Amino acid sequence: MNPGAEQNVPVGSGERAIYPDLVLASPEGRHRLEGVVEVETGESVNSLEALAEWAPLARLHAAFHLYVPAGAVDAARRLCDDHGIVVNEIWSYHPIGDQMRFTVVHRAPVVKKKRPAEPVKREGVRRSAGRQEKRKPKPKPKSKPKTRGVPRQARAAKKRARSTRGGADRRSTRTRSRG
C-alpha cells in the first residue's frame, strides 16, 4: 500500500517504477502482479493526473481499478476515453454518515483468451511436388468365407463329428461321397 506520498511498494524498477495506491499481488509463487488500484479525490480527477498516473498503470499487464468520488465519475470516464486509457473497473465512492459506500460504475467486458486453433488433420491427402494427391485406400484383408444358411449349432456338431472320427474313417467317407 502506498497511502498519500509514501512510496512503499513499487511496480516496476528503476526510473520506470510506479507507486499506485494499492498493489494486488498473487499469494502463490513469486507474488505475481494481479492488479493495481488508484484512488483519486475530486481535485485529482484531471487530465494531468490521467496522463501521469492512469496511463502508465493501464499499460501494465495487470487489472487497473480506478476509484473516484461519485461526482467525478463522468469526468473520469471522459478522460479515459480522450486519452485511450483502458480501465478494468471504475468505482465511485461517497460517504454516508461515518461510512464510505462503494459502487461499481464501469466494468470492462471480459475478453476470453482464445486458444490457438489446432491444425486440421487431413487423412487420405498426400502432398508431393507441390500438388495434392489422394491416397489410395489400403486393401482390406481377405476374410474367411462365411457359411450361410447353416446354423451355428449345426456347424459345431459337424466339427465335433470330424474330430471324433479316425483318419481311416475320414478317407472312406470322402471316397463314398464322391462316387
**Nearest 10 degrees: CA dihedral of 162, 165, 171, 173?**
-70
Q: Is the pTM of this model over 0.85?
A: no
What's the 3-state SS for the chain? CCCCCCCCCCECCHHHCECCCEEEECCCCCCCEEEEEEECCCCCCCHHHHHHHHHHHHCCCCEEEEEEEHHHHHHHHHHHHHHCCCCCEEEEEEEECCEEEEEEEEECCCCCCCCCCCCCCCCCEEEECCEEEECCCCCCCCCCCCCCCCCHHHHHHHHHHHHHCCHHHHHHHHHHHHC
Q: What is the pLDDT along the chain (179 residues), one digit of tens a residue?
A: 888 788 888 888 888 888 999 999 888 867 788 999 999 999 999 999 999 999 999 999 899 999 999 999 999 999 999 999 999 999 999 999 999 999 999 998 876 666 666 666 666 555 555 555 666 777 777 766 665 666 667 777 777 777 765 555 555 555 555 54
